[in-house]
Structure 1
């Protein structure tokens, strides 16, 4: 579906701007295995796009009282920090899109389920922080994705009506959030293709940011 016009672009972070979700998956699986538990593909798919506290709750519920959540979290966080502190991979096409949008004066913001500490660190390491005037994190909202509050706050921070904002997301939880916030959702699936009910909420579904760039360029 063609995009007629828009006044701002809102970006999810993990899996949309930066390729961190594969690192998260690897370390969560490894840390759970140390206790003899398996994070299945189905369980991981349930967690995609959710705030960490909700992911922890899902894991604890799945594994039961014998699972040591604090030990698990300490283990995977240490490995993730080591892995991502010096290099955060940027998704293909992101820099070209951001440079183009910035050159045209387009307001840009991030709406992420990550904490403020993680978001600031990852975006800075990836070289992306300078592109965004506002970053809405899990610490800035009462309710995280799939609730609409993250995208509502991001749009408000830019002083742009949600219906005039493109929202770029890679997860089902993120698309639900963007849709219910009243934005124009575009999905770039990373680790899971959307179910039909999610696909119906998307204005577009693109293979990568290069394809997104083509669609947005035509409306600029």
Structure 2
């Protein structure tokens, strides 16, 4: 029997970083004479890989897409700083996963340098060591491939995998990969999360609904 797996998105799931990303994007957009309000950020940018964002917003600057993206990400890291509070309950959840010998991975569209900076700032770098980076996969989220690759690396089947996401693209990817998906309300409404594929909605990792599901998951192994 395959073992269960816990698969975590990063931005907005393990850390509430969307306000910082929005602020970094606003500065880049302002230099090009346009604005970006928070609602547009949530509906058109959140969770998407940089290549897609650059293509949609800067169609006349193809040769500078990588440069623009790096400027934005550098500003985000400056705003992040060296320390950040992770989402409530994550350490207890990882303690439980270690006791139950359940595999864990981070599945994110963030660039690796960002992912490593965020995990270090939140004190999670030594606890979550398997990183599936979207731009390093043949296809990033919303394609399910990064989640499928994480399951394979952990020796888990979709039916025994639990994913945590906060964006429509991530939710669609996890759901298409066959995982049981919890949507976190860090940025979007429960209705939006359900519409994108979340099976259940939680505010953080202390939610009773999450622990009830996990208890039932391991009980099947007993």
Shorter-chain TM-score tier: 0.7 to 0.9
Whether the 8 Å contact between 2:107 and 2:132 is mirrored in structure 1 is yes
CA distance in 2, matches of 1:48, 1:200: 13
- Residue-by-residue CA offset, 1:97-143 (whole Å, 9 max, x unaligned): 22222222211111111122222232123211222352100243111
Alignment counterpart, residue 10 of structure 2, candidates 6, 9, 13 = 13
Corresponding residue for 1:132? 128
Gaps of 5+ in 1: 1-5
1:47 and 2:45 aligned? yes
Distance 1:110 1:77, change over 3 A: closer
Q: RMSD of aligned C-alpha atoms?
A: 2.5
- Residue-by-residue CA offset, 1:117-175 (whole Å, 9 max, x unaligned): 22223212321122235210024311111110110011011011122100111111111
1:188 and 2:184 aligned? yes
Alignment counterpart, residue 139 of structure 2, candidates 143, 148, 162 = 143
Corresponding residue for 2:26? 29
Alignment counterpart, residue 215 of structure 1, candidates 212, 217, 221 = 212
Corresponding residue for 1:123? 119
Whether the 8 Å contact between 1:168 and 1:186 is mirrored in structure 2 is yes
What is the TM-score of this pair, normalised by structure 2?
A: 0.83
Which stretch of the first structure deviates more once superposed, 145-154 or 73-82? 73-82
Gaps of 5+ in 2: none
CA distance in 1, matches of 2:128, 2:32: 40
Whether the 8 Å contact between 1:110 and 1:136 is mirrored in structure 2 is yes
DSSP-derived class of the 1:131 partner: coil
CA distance in 1, matches of 2:85, 2:98: 21
Map residues 67-146 of structure 1 onto 2, 5 A cutoff: 72-73=68-69, 75-146=71-142
Which stretch of the first structure deviates more once superposed, 81-90 or 138-147? 81-90
Q: How far did 1:85 drift?
A: 3.9
